[in-house]
Amino acid sequence: MFVKNLQNDFYNVIHGKQCLILVNFDVDAICASKILQALFKNDNIVYTLVPIQGVKEMVRAYQENADEIEFVIMINCGATLDIVDMLQPEEKVIFFILDSHRPYDLCNVYNETQVQILGNLNPDEEIPEYNDVFNDESSDEEQEDEISDGEDESNQAKRRRLNEARILKKRKRREWEEKRDEILFNYTQYSYYGKSSAVVAYEMTWQMSRDNLDMVWWAIIGSTEQAILSKVESSTSVLVAGDLQSHVARLSHNRGGDAEQLSAIKVTYDKDLQLALYRHWTVEDSFRHSIPTAVALRLWSIKGEQRLREFLAEMGLPLAQSRQRFSAMDLNLRQEFRGMVEKLANKYRISSIVGANFTMQYGYRFKYCATDIVYSMLAILESTTRDRPPQLCFLEASDCLTHSNKDLLDRGIEKAKNVLVHIYKTAQSILELKQVINAGTFLYVVLADSIMNSHMFCHPHILIILAQFILKAYVESSRNKRAATWPLVASATYSEEDGTCLIVGIPPVSEEQPRSLFGRAFEQAAKNTNSYIEADYFDSTIARLKIEGRLKFFDALAALLV
């Protein structure tokens, strides 16, 4: 059931009650939870927040915290699963689901009592009608049998009519089931993402007249993560950014007379370069490790390095300046830098590098753009080791959104630089050694355990960024015109002790809407080969399987996608 009026049918319902909040391990979910926590703190709402990495953790977290809990808020988890069937809650428990994963599980959509999906129904999601997938008609075959048994055996005509009616009913039932299976297949065939959960949470605070610049900034971070990871199409990101900009302008205007408040936080939206962390890095490093420039200039090759030097020289940027931190460059060069890049963008086919971005300034202490914070949070979130448990990484990533934690944010940016460097080096090695395998209907790449810092790629978001880099680079350098229509599967070792690997599926470059068919395909390929697969992630295009069965699984996937 969808909840359209979030204030009346969600927030006023949980007001004054104890809640359990289950939050998925992603930046958008963290931002959405941060907005809700700010509201709860002001209204003294008692809650328990538990970060979860997958379905098993979700079940365990609910079971451990279910006592005396009537309301469960699920952020970026639960929408694609039959929650009531999976968790077996008491009848009094109500689940409020705020999730950007699609498609919704239809049992959640049509549950009128225990499952409440926060947000409006998007017609583009084409949710099937209730009667097309659920049949509540009770069978009256027993009644017919009683009638027929009670009839005189000599009455053959009546018995024949009853048999014909029963056969006709069975035929209609079979036709309905076939149509239902087709409808369900079409509905669940692709997995994709909807509106950012942080944006939905922020829009609720706006409707309640409780929003502020901090909250809109968190919504900006959540939607920026979707753009960076290509979860939604670029046109959608632009429209959402425009809406958020109008809120920024309104909130900034409302407090325009208070100079002290204006010095606290200032958010601006302006034309910017889509270069990763360039304000905190050297220009040369940022060009090399940003996907748009690395792909357009083919920086994984020797000729690509020459093109980069030519580009910097034609810009008029001295080599010494390009190799020192951007903040330490000459002031004139820093001020003219964006214009210098824009002039040459079309010539070097990197026009996508010019875009717009939100920037936040907190007093005179620091200035960061939204993409900087997303990269920092992703790097911290996926820096788990034996000494750094996931819960600690989650809390540190969440603390990056607090103004007082500048040092933590800067450490995250340094981690992000290290991540981007290793993504680039790994992609360069794979492309140079031609390790991208063409399976006919899709591409796949398997990361060797011998690569430097291979442990980084056992985390899904980092592996996804690497896979996107490799796919775009492969398409850019391939002579095959069909390359842009091929999706890619990337795999890396997840646990050597358990002998498992992580796999992620990336939709083709040519797809305007980033919808992936790998969720259902992974499930079917594992079924066809009797392979062990652990679909524990809330994104169905991410899974784990046994390393020993990986090649057999890829063969089955190739046969399935013909």
Is 227 in the same domain as 330? yes
CA distance 411 to 379: 10
- Given this model, what pLDDT does residue 137 score? 63
CA 144 to chain centre: 53
Name the β-bridge partners of 96. 73, 116
Task: State how beta strands 47-52 and 101-102 pair.
Answer: unpaired
The C-alpha atoms of residue 366 and residue 266 are separated, in whole angstroms, by 11
Q: At which of 80, 100, 126 does a domain end?
A: 126
Q: Is 459 left (phi over 0), alpha (psi -120 to 50) or beta?
A: beta
Note whether residue 249 is domain-resident: yes
Residue-level pLDDT at 144: 45
- pLDDT tens track for 297-307: 999 988 999 99
Domain match, 75 and 221 both: no
Domain hosting 509: range is: 435-561
Clarify whether residues 487 and 352 are in a common domain.
Answer: no
What pLDDT, on the 0 to 100 scale, is given for residue 257? 45
Same-domain pairing of 327 and 454: no
**Pair (450, 361) in one structural domain:** no
DSSP-derived pairing of the beta strands 437-438 and 443-446: antiparallel
Contact 232/37 with Cβ under 8 angstroms?
A: no
The pLDDT assigned to 364 comes to: 66
Looking at the structure, tell me whether residues 359 and 461 fall in a common domain.
no
Do 208 and 303 lie in one domain? The reply is yes
**Contacts of range 308-312, beta carbons closer than 8 Å, 24 or more positions apart:** 308/284, 311/287, 311/344, 311/348, 312/283, 312/284, 312/287
Contacts of 522 (CB under 8 A, 6+ apart): 503, 505, 533, 535, 540, 541, 543, 557
The per-residue pLDDT string of the chain (562 residues; one tens digit each, 9 = 90 and over) reads 899 999 999 999 999 899 999 999 999 999 999 999 999 998 989 999 999 999 999 999 999 998 889 999 999 999 999 999 999 999 999 999 999 999 999 999 999 899 999 988 888 888 999 888 887 664 444 444 444 455 555 577 777 788 888 888 888 888 888 899 999 999 999 999 999 999 999 999 999 999 999 999 999 999 999 999 999 998 889 999 999 999 999 998 776 544 444 457 889 999 899 899 999 999 999 999 999 999 999 999 889 999 999 999 998 888 888 899 998 889 898 889 989 999 988 888 887 888 889 999 876 667 899 999 999 999 999 998 888 999 999 999 999 998 878 899 999 999 999 999 999 999 999 999 999 999 989 999 999 888 878 889 999 999 999 999 999 999 999 988 899 999 999 999 999 999 999 999 999 998 888 889 999 999 999 999 988 899 899 999 999 999 999 999 999 999 988 7
**Cα–Cα dist 257/239, whole Å:** 30
What is the C-alpha R_g of the chain?
27
Out of 347, 369, 391, pick the residue that ends a domain. 369
CATH number for the domain spanning 506: value is 3.10.310
- Residue 94 belongs to a domain: yes
Whole-angstrom distance, CA of residue 480 vs CA of residue 160? 64
Structurally, how many domains does the chain consist of? 3
147 part of a folded domain? no
End of a domain among 369, 390, 411?
369
CATH of the domain at 12: 3.90.1640.30
| Phi, psi values for residue 450, rounded to 5° | -80, -10
**pLDDT for 513:** 80
Q: Which amino acid is at 63?
A: Q
Q: What is the pLDDT of residue 160?
A: 79
Beta carbons within 10 angstroms of residue 392's beta carbon: 13
- For residue 545, tell me if it sits in a domain: yes
Tell me the two tokens of residue 546: 């046994």
Fill in the DSSP letter of residue 531: -
Structure confidence at residue 153 (pLDDT): 54
pLDDT at 365: 60
Tokens found for residue 107: 């049992």
Specify the pLDDT at position 488: 95
**Quick one: pLDDT at residue 350?**
86
In a domain, 135, yes or no: no
In a domain, 271, yes or no: yes
Cβ contacts of 427 within 8 Å, gap of 6 or more: 294, 300, 466, 469, 470, 473
Dump pLDDT digits (tens) for 72-106: 999 999 999 999 999 999 999 999 999 999 999 99
Looking at the fold, whether 29 and 122 belong to one and the same domain comes out as: yes
Q: Is residue 83 part of a domain?
A: yes
